[in-house]
A = this chain, B = another copy of it.
């Protein structure tokens, strides 16, 4: 039914070995021969058998990109950028880079890693915050180690470094620094009662951003009880809405809010508006991570913009080994503070 390499060889009157060499282009072949082979390939419209090739070569051209939530553009941008960067690499063996959506579930994360291990993936890029659960982290660490010594390159993007030498490169986002700068910005304007809408409790991203927030408060002598004015929720709009209401209930005199990401910030803004408070007139809102639509959606938002596209593209290149790993294997990616509003001092209540 489907043409095989042998068929092509027969048609071009050469040996299978030669056809393979022409196709892989990594070996000298006479121009005339190559021509004949390529013509035969075309005439039979032969397509390489990936599994057979991978089996023989003991490596595949699959690159897996794991994301927590593909419906969130935060991940869409990173993953898309990585895939684009990998797709650039034309020539020789074209890589098939694919996105795997774990939905934030630890089991699915492991399942996908196993599935990729099965395919003998050439590389794996893991994006986004990790679950703060030592058992799961150990399991993932072990999986990555196995993948690594089966020859798979591992790149972490927007995820904290893991101990061990299995990871090829890590692009860590400066979540602490970002959280700190957002809060410092608000403090600098004179805000003293600042609420914090945090992400899900058991995620590294959540904790790091929150730590930055606390550090800024402490530096300004504003820290109170550890969990005062902090409400956790998931990274969705509804959660931001509810959290803002809860914060307002706890402390009606709030003059500013920091949100763990834009989606949550949008929800918080909606809640404030529904309470008759204007943003940023009455309450300033600052958010983490700038997505393309945020600017229009809430012109009043001040954010820390992480270079998601650039980071994703770089992760893609690192996965392919097109770019040298940073010294120590770890690079920290910093976000840029984007002040769009909230430059006025807080209202006096």
A interface residues, Cβ below 8 angstroms from B: 1-2, 45, 47-55, 60-62, 64, 69-73, 75-77, 79-80, 83-84, 87, 94, 96-101, 103, 108, 111-112, 114-120, 146, 149-150, 236-237, 263, 266-267, 269-270, 292-293, 296-298
Contact = CB atoms under 8 A, between A and B. Distances in A.
A55 B47 contact: no
A210 to B, nearest CB: 23
Given A55-B52, A96-B119, A297-B298, A47 B149 contact: no
Contact of A99 (B99, B103, B298): B99
18 contacts: A47-B117, A47-B118, A50-B51, A50-B118, A51-B60, A53-B118, A71-B77, A75-B76, A76-B76, A79-B101, A94-B115, A96-B112, A96-B116, A96-B119, A97-B100, A237-B293, A270-B296, A297-B298
Given A50-B60, A53-B118, A76-B76, 17 more contacts: A1-B150, A49-B118, A50-B118, A51-B52, A51-B55, A55-B55, A69-B80, A71-B73, A71-B77, A72-B73, A75-B76, A96-B100, A266-B293, A266-B297, A269-B296, A293-B293, A297-B297
Nearest to A312: B71
Nearest to A78: B71
Contacts of A84: 101, 103
A146 B52 contact: no
